[in-house]
Structure 1
Amino acid sequence: MVVVCNNSMGVGVEWPEPVERVQKLAESGIQHLPQRYIRPPQDRSSSLSLSPTGVPVVDLSAGNSMKVMQSACREWGVFQLVNHGIPDTVLSSAMNASRGFFDLPMSEKQLYANDPLTYEGYGSRVGVQKGILLDWGDYFFHHVRPLSHQKQHKWPANLPHFRRNIDEYCSRVFELCKELLGIFSEDLGLPKGCLVERFGGEEQIGLSCRMNYYPKCPQPELTLGLSPHTDPGGFTVIIQDDNLCGLQVKKDVVWVSVPPIPKALIIILADQLEVLSNGIYTSAEHRATVNKERERMSLVVFCNPDGEMKIGPVEEAVAAGRGKALYEEMSFNQYRQLIRTVGTKGKSFVNSRKGS
């Protein structure tokens, strides 16, 4: 039996059952998935048709970038961003650093094992409820900004360039995030700095990164690398492998694959931006599939509001829409606590904030 001590938020400091590393399972040579990873038939990636419609591509240097981005934010909640200004060398160094962690011996990776309180470190599950369905993937999670949120011992000691490369990439992404928040503000008819302030101001904007590792899977048709979900924060910036597709987003009732574009960034709008815009923007439900022949990786950066900030619809967005606030106000810490308890559940969390 696992003894769990709870904090004031109600989440235990230990996982409710032993954590199995998916990478270790895959490397053991198993031919059949453990039951904990097998999804009901209706929830498998092979159960839905894929739409032929492509995810919008925004060229930040093009004259029509604002128009394409506006449509993407309202209709999709996701777009691929090219000519974003982050050098190719910074992108590749960050991805190489991410791969370096998962190449470490298992005993060394275990030194950075995480807990349910923050998820910072090496992890293999999200929800803390005992017996929940698991995803076929491991991750390594860091808080980057504000600096006071970092746990210094979670940075791997035996990868000398890891922190430098991740810090450099996240610094560049932070500047891009501020630029995008300004663009989103103006598109919504708000002062350019409005959303930065609603996120808590430049010093309190949260930035964290998650390195996802999806090992080869003996029965990929039965499982997923990441369950369908919307991200809880503001918006998400993703680099995926250049030559292996796995990310899918939901458009209306069908799933759409997001094919890799070399050096592109994928921007996924998250729940707090949907709330702040009073539903003018939509957060994108997405998932990750797995592969029998090859492993896959992605590097994800989350741009989040300050955890203590109360997030509700911006008054100007309310006035521009239906004339009333459609979502209840809630702090980001309260909101993500729901997800830490029960794991990912599609768009159910953000939909539950809608008033009558």
Structure 2
Amino acid sequence: MTTFPVINMEKLNGQGRAATMEMIKDACENWGFFEVVNHGIAPEFMDTVEKLTKEHYRKCMEQRFKEMVAKKGLEAVQSEINDLDWESTFFLRHLPVSNISEMPDLAEEYRSVMKEFAAQLEKLAEQLLDLLCENLGLEKGYLKKVFYGSKSPNFGTKVSNYPPCPKPDLIKGLRAHTDAGGIVLLFQDDKVSGLQLLKDGQWVDVPPMRHSIVVNLGDQLEVITNGKYKSVMHRVIAQTDGTRMSLASFYNPASDAVIYPAPALVEKEETRDLYPKFVFEDYMKHYLGVKFQAKEPRFEAFKNMENTANLGQVATA
């Protein structure tokens, strides 16, 4: 099998630009995932984010997780658990309105660092969306404009820790799913692995790499690209040793954003729209109930509703 795609973003600024853009295109078309290095976020700053995230888990969340495990008797399970993930999480919202200042238990330094980290990730997400536009032949800013809706995109970070698990064959760290939203930027532990994606019917490890950001595409980009780029099933395998840190930042459309295949892509391919048209908030409501099921029925459900829905157009200004 070909190796997992790793993109050196510094090469976008020189003679290697064309080859690097081709690597991004191939990753989007054939993997739905890639890893970026030299992405502009300082390694020292990422070390601080990691250190404070792990400290916060140890001080504020580890004991709670152990109590939950004991209460549910998870250490003694004998058969596969299909309704629970072996993870300890909390969610930070950045856009349209940040909730970082209201989150309990966060040390002031951690609050400040996560605000800055979110600002840098937002910038990187928008840069990546423009690179996707370039590869797709869409006007610069098209994806950002679609995601913006009437106010701003939805952007937030799921902070997760995956503690050592005594029965990783019976309990998944995170069950297999595709992401509902737009583009996901993941800062993952470089010492404890666990993330896998489904490629050609095989589960493939997403390699932990120091100071990299893993990028994956969500369902909305599959719809907008009319299936040219696809969201991919992925999961987290729990480990018997070590706690794996994961900060997944989701740059998603606004709640009122209207999502449908980009007309330029439909015309170019001379195909009818393969995907439905819907309001992102409606998709999310549906997704929450069927997250760990196949994605195709989600698209079909909205195709069937499409004719009766009264949907507006994406703003062109």
Q: CA deviation at 1:93?
A: 1.9
Give the 3-state SS of the residue equivalent to 1:281 in structure 2: coil
Q: CA deviation at 1:342?
A: 4.0
Indicate yes or no: 2:90 matched with 1:140.
yes
* Counterpart position of 2:195: 247
Give the 3-state SS of the residue equivalent to 2:184 in structure 1: strand
Give the 3-state SS of the residue equivalent to 1:233 in structure 2: coil
Indicate yes or no: 2:15 matched with 1:60.
no
* Counterpart position of 2:146: 198
Give the 3-state SS of the residue equivalent to 2:59 in structure 1: coil
Equivalent-residue separation in structure 1 for 2:101 and 2:106 (angstroms): 14
Q: CA deviation at 1:326?
A: 0.7
Q: CA deviation at 1:334?
A: 0.8
Equivalent-residue separation in structure 2 for 1:240 and 1:190 (angstroms): 31
Give the 3-state SS of the residue equivalent to 1:292 in structure 2: coil
Q: How many residues align?
A: 283
* Counterpart position of 2:160: 212
* Counterpart position of 1:335: 283
* Counterpart position of 2:175: 227
Query: Could you report, residue by residue, the CA deviation over 1:310-347 in whole angstroms, capped at 9, with x for unpaired residues?
Result: 10101001112242111111111111112323442243
Equivalent-residue separation in structure 1 for 2:50 and 2:302 (angstroms): 38
Residue type of the alignment partner of 2:20: S
TM-score scaled to structure 1, two decimals?
0.74
Q: CA deviation at 1:170?
A: 0.9
- C-alpha change, 1:254 and 1:352, in structure 2 (3 Å) is farther
TM-score scaled to structure 2, two decimals?
0.83
- Give aligned-pair identity as a percent: 32
Q: CA deviation at 1:189?
A: 0.9
Q: CA deviation at 1:90?
A: 2.1
Give the 3-state SS of the residue equivalent to 1:248 in structure 2: strand
CA contact (8 A) 2:176 2:233 kept: yes
Equivalent-residue separation in structure 1 for 2:250 and 2:60 (angstroms): 27
1:4-23 equivalent positions in 2, closer than 5 A: none
Give the 3-state SS of the residue equivalent to 1:224 in structure 2: coil
1:28-67 equivalent positions in 2, closer than 5 A: 52-62=1-11, 63=16, 64-67=19-22
Q: CA deviation at 1:202?
A: 10
Residue type of the alignment partner of 1:143: R
Q: CA deviation at 1:200?
A: 1.4
Q: Pick the structure with more helix per residue.
A: 2
* Counterpart position of 1:300: 248
Unpaired segments of 5 or more residues in structure 2? 66-80, 305-317
Residue type of the alignment partner of 1:171: A
1:33-112 equivalent positions in 2, closer than 5 A: 52-62=1-11, 63=16, 64-105=19-60
* Counterpart position of 1:3: none
RMSD of aligned C-alpha atoms?
2.3
Query: Could you report, residue by residue, the CA deviation over 1:154-209 in whole angstroms, capped at 9, with x for unpaired residues?
Result: x2345121111111111001111111111111211111011111111696022100
Equivalent-residue separation in structure 2 for 1:261 and 1:168 (angstroms): 22
Residue type of the alignment partner of 1:174: E
Equivalent-residue separation in structure 2 for 1:217 and 1:132 (angstroms): 15
CA contact (8 A) 1:228 1:346 kept: no
Equivalent-residue separation in structure 2 for 1:211 and 1:141 (angstroms): 6
Equivalent-residue separation in structure 1 for 2:294 and 2:161 (angstroms): 21
Q: Aligned to 2:113, which of 151, 159, 165?
A: 165
